Each structure stands twice: as C-alpha cells, then as structure tokens.
C-alpha cells in the first residue's frame, strides 16, 4: 500500500481507502461489512469512510460493530463521518424524518450530530469529520466556529468539506485563519474519469495555497466504469436497488449512453495493460497527485481484492497511455469556466 499525506497535514492515509455508502445497511450486514473491511485492511487500507446519513445511521452502527469485532488498534485507523443530513428512518414508510434542526451545518446540528455519530460508531473520536454539503442557510462563520469547537473537544482531529465550491472552502479557510481557528484540511469531492472539473480545475489553486487534501468518492461512477453496465443493467447491481433509481441517468438518456460508449472504448486499453476496466479507472484516479486517497466502494469481498490490485496498474499508465485515455474521454477540463458558488 502507498500512504499519502492528507493535503498539507501530517496525517497519512492509505492511497486507497474504503467507504460504506449504499452498501453497509442496505446490501451488507455486520459480518459481510467486516469481511470487506478486513480484505481492505489486510491490503494496508487504514481509512474507512462513513456519514451520519448513510442508511440513516445504520452504516455507522455496522462499522462500529465491525471495528469492535476486528479489534484493530485505534492508532492504526483513520475513521471519518460526515455531518449534514441527520434524519432518522421513517417508522411508517420510506425515507427519513427530519426535525427542523436535524439538517445542515448549524452549531446545534454539528454538535448533536457528531455526538450521535460517535455513539453509533462506538468511538471516542473520529479522525476526520466532513461538512457533507454546503449549507446556504447557515453563515460559514458559525460552521467554522462549530467545527473548531468539535476539534478542540477532541471529538474529531481534522475537519473538512464535501462538495463545497472552491470559493466556499476559501471563505471558511480565510475566516479560520483570521480568527485563529482551525481551518479545513480536506475536501471530499466526486472524482473519476467521467467527472473531473472540480478536482482538476476549480480546486487547482487550493492545493498549493491552502494545502487542501482530497478524499475522492465514486472512483467508478457507481460502477459504470467497471463496464458492468455496457450491455444493460445487471441483476443485483447498484442501479437495480429500489432506493437508488435516481442514479439511472448515469447510463440512460443521451448523456448516459455517451458515457457508456467511452467505457466501451476504454476496455481495449485495459485489455492491453492486462487489467480490468475497474482497475484502470481506479489507477487513473491515483495518478493525480492532488488526490490524497481514493475511497473505494464494494458490495462484495471479490470487488475489494480486484479494486485494490489497481495499485499495480499505476506504473503502467505512461504518458502515452494517459494520452490515449484522454482522447477517448474527450473531457479535459477547460480553464475558461468561471467558478462561482
Ligand atoms: P464506486 O464509484 O467505486 O462504486 C462502488 C460500487 O460499484 C460498488 O458498491 C459495486 O456496486 C460496484 N463495484 C465496485 N467494484 C466493482 C468491481 N470490481 N466490479 C463490479 N462492480 C464493482 O464508489 P462509491 O460510489 O461506492 O463511493 C465510494 C465511497 O465514497 C462511498 O462508500 C462513500 O464512503 C464515499 N462517497 C461520498 C460521497 C459524498 O458526498 N461525500 C458520495 C458518494 C460516496 P454493485 O456491486 O452493487 O453494483
């Protein structure tokens, strides 16, 4: 395993990490989750990602129980959660129930949401805590103060954002610096072959200027980049799950079909390199040095093994190969875009 610094912090995270969205609670029980986490751990993964909203808290409960069963040393682990949507399951039907203060980045929800997450995870602290989305109704100053409070209490060690604009991250950072508070260390953005602009362009100034680290999500675009959707939606795959039908545009409509066509054209490149399409897509993310860690998702152990072997593909991605991939993707970020929040 390779370990990378999380931005300019002193924390080292495994270049490949493991997350629980969709899977823990909806597709996996504790033993299945532990089997996947163990496969990752045995390969050197030290970072496990979670969020209060995943399976309405069930994902944190499962990860907490799995960590207890595994008995790994706390010092060797980097565990995260993300705060924003703090709802609870609706006992009378589908979806979540939210009290008026259960959502967002108010000081109240950050404090209460963090305490509840720690209880579910059975941990005294998380290493990383993220503001899961920007909250336009709460002043950024309130959120920065609240995150500073959580860190000062030792309930989390580093804080960051997820899917914030560069301008919002910058505002939070500048305010924290001015007030001598702890600034954000990392951002959790989507990044994969089909979704690049934010990480490669919008955030570009932040890597040097504020030392931003990135823990990137959906490296396989929910599985599209494995090639498994090239000939239709396979039974049992993520896109067949009742609660995730909103992901279908990834493979449907003109845009979806264009994406699938790119994946089909990338397959021969993977074949030539002697790897799977999933490994090629993950290795491509690892080539980007501004990526601190690639958070893998997997619904079974075999996928964990396959995806972690992407580390061996990275040295095969020469400039020539990367240029061929670039031609097929045809989506190199264009600098003339004007980034606003
Ligand atoms: P991916 O894009 O890698 O998708 C993972 C899914 O693809 C798996 O659950 C599985 O689904 C399928 N898959 C993975 N590997 C293979 C393989 N080798 N062959 C075939 N199918 C495969 O990642 P995720 O979207 O799961 O995101 C990873 C993590 O990032 C999450 O767990 C979470 O921690 C984080 N995240 C953060 C977000 C944020 O807003 N901050 C948003 C989303 C994710 P299946 O087998 O069911 O088809």
Angle at 242 between CA 239 and CA 248, to 5 degrees: 35
> Is the pLDDT confidence value at 339 over 60?
no
User: For ligand 1, what atom is nearest to the CA of residue 221?
Assistant: 2
Tokens of 68: 């207890």
User: What integer best gives the mean pLDDT of the chain?
Assistant: 96
With respect to residue 328, please indicate whether it lies within any of the assigned structural domains.
no
User: For ligand 1, what atom is nearest to the CA of residue 278?
Assistant: 18
Per-residue model confidence as pLDDT tens digits over 227-255: 999 999 999 999 999 989 999 999 999 99
Radius of gyration of the chain (CA): 19
With respect to residue 31, please indicate whether it lies within any of the assigned structural domains.
yes
Tokens of 211: 């030392």
pTM of the model: 0.96
Torsion on CA atoms 164, 165, 167, 168, rounded to nearest 10: -20
Tokens of 102: 């259960």
Residue nearest to atom 20 of ligand 1 (CA): 226
Q: Which residue in 27, 25, 49, 26 sits closest to 37, CA to CA? A: 49
Catalytic annotation on 125?
no
The whole domain housing 186 covers 3-223+288-317
Per-residue model confidence as pLDDT tens digits over 136-178: 999 999 999 999 999 999 999 999 999 999 999 999 999 999 9
How many angstroms separate the alpha carbon of residue 176 from the centre of ligand 1?
Answer: 33
With respect to residue 232, please indicate whether it lies within any of the assigned structural domains.
no
Q: Which of 3, 54, 158, 173 is catalytic?
A: 54
Angstrom distance (rounded) from CA 289 to CA 151:
27
Contact call for residues 298 and 242 (beta carbons, < 8 A) = no
Per-residue model confidence as pLDDT tens digits over 198-209: 999 999 999 999
How many angstroms separate the alpha carbon of residue 219 from the centre of ligand 1?
Answer: 7
If one counts the domains in the chain, the total is 1
Mutating to test ligand 1, I would choose from 18, 21, 277 the residue with most ligand atoms within 8 A of its C-beta, which is: 21
Pairing of strands 293-296, 213-216: parallel
How many angstroms separate the alpha carbon of residue 291 from the centre of ligand 1?
Answer: 17
Mutating to test ligand 1, I would choose from 51, 223, 259 the residue with most ligand atoms within 8 A of its C-beta, which is: 223
> Is the pLDDT confidence value at 217 over 90?
yes
Mutating to test ligand 1, I would choose from 16, 129, 217, 276 the residue with most ligand atoms within 8 A of its C-beta, which is: 217
Query: Pocket residues for ligand 1 (CB within 6 Å)?
Result: 19-23, 49, 162-163, 188, 217-223, 226, 228, 237-238, 278, 295-299, 303, 306-307
- Backbone CA torsion sign across 319, 322, 328, 329: negative
The enclosing domain of 102 has a CATH number of: 3.20.20.100
With respect to residue 323, please indicate whether it lies within any of the assigned structural domains.
no
Residue nearest to atom 12 of ligand 1 (CA): 223
Q: What is the mean pLDDT of residues 301-307?
A: 98
How many angstroms separate the alpha carbon of residue 32 from the centre of ligand 1?
Answer: 16
With respect to residue 234, please indicate whether it lies within any of the assigned structural domains.
no
Per-residue model confidence as pLDDT tens digits over 254-290: 999 999 999 999 999 999 999 999 999 999 999 999 9
With respect to residue 72, please indicate whether it lies within any of the assigned structural domains.
yes
Contact call for residues 143 and 135 (beta carbons, < 8 A) = yes
With respect to residue 139, please indicate whether it lies within any of the assigned structural domains.
yes
φ, ψ at 171 (rounded to 5°): -65, -45
How many angstroms separate the alpha carbon of residue 296 from the centre of ligand 1?
Answer: 6
With respect to residue 305, please indicate whether it lies within any of the assigned structural domains.
yes
Length of the chain: 341
How many angstroms separate the alpha carbon of residue 298 from the centre of ligand 1?
Answer: 6
Q: Would you tell me the crossing angle of helices 277-287 and 301-308 to the nearest 10 degrees? A: 50
């Amino acid at each position: 395993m390779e370990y990378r610094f999380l931005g300019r912090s002193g924390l080292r995270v495994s270049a490949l990490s493991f997350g629980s969205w969709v899977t823990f609670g909806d597709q996996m029980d504790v033993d299945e989750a532990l089997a996947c986490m163990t496969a990752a751990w045995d390969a050197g993964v030290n970072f496990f990602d979670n969020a209060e909203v995943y399976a309405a808290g069930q994902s944190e409960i499962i990860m907490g129980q799995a960590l207890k069963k595994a008995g790994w040393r706390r010092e060797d682990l980097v565990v995260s959660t993300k705060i924003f949507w703090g709802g609870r399951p609706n006992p009378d039907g589908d979806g979540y129930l939210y009290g008026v203060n259960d959502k967002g980045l108010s000081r109240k929800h950050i404090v209460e949401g963090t305490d509840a997450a720690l209880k579910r995870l059975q941990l005294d602290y998380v290493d990383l805590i993220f503001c899961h989305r920007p909250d336009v109704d709460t002043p950024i100053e309130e959120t920065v103060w609240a995150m500073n409070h959580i860190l000062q209490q030792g309930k989390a060690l580093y804080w960051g954002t997820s899917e914030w604009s560069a301008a919002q991250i910058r505002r939070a950072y500048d305010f924290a610096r001015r007030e001598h508070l702890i600034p954000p260390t990392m951002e959790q953005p989507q990044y994969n072959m089909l979704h690049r602009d934010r990480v490669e362009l919008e955030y570009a100034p932040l890597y040097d200027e504020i030392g931003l680290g990135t823990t990137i999500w959906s490296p396989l675009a929910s599985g599209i980049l494995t090639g498994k959707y090239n000939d239709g939606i396979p039974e049992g795959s993520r896109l067949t799950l009742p609660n995730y039908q909103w992901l279908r545009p990834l493979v449907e409509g003109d845009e979806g079909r264009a994406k699938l066509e790119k994946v089909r054209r990338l397959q021969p490149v993977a074949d030539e390199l002697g790897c799977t399409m999933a490994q090629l897509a993950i290795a491509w993310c690892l080539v980007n040095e501004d990526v601190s860690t690639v958070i893998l998702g997997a619904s079974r152990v075999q996928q964990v093994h396959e995806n972690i072997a992407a580390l061996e593909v990275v040295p095969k991605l020469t400039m020539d190969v990367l240029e061929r991939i670039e031609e097929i993707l045809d989506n190199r970020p264009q600098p003339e875009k004007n980034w606003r929040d």
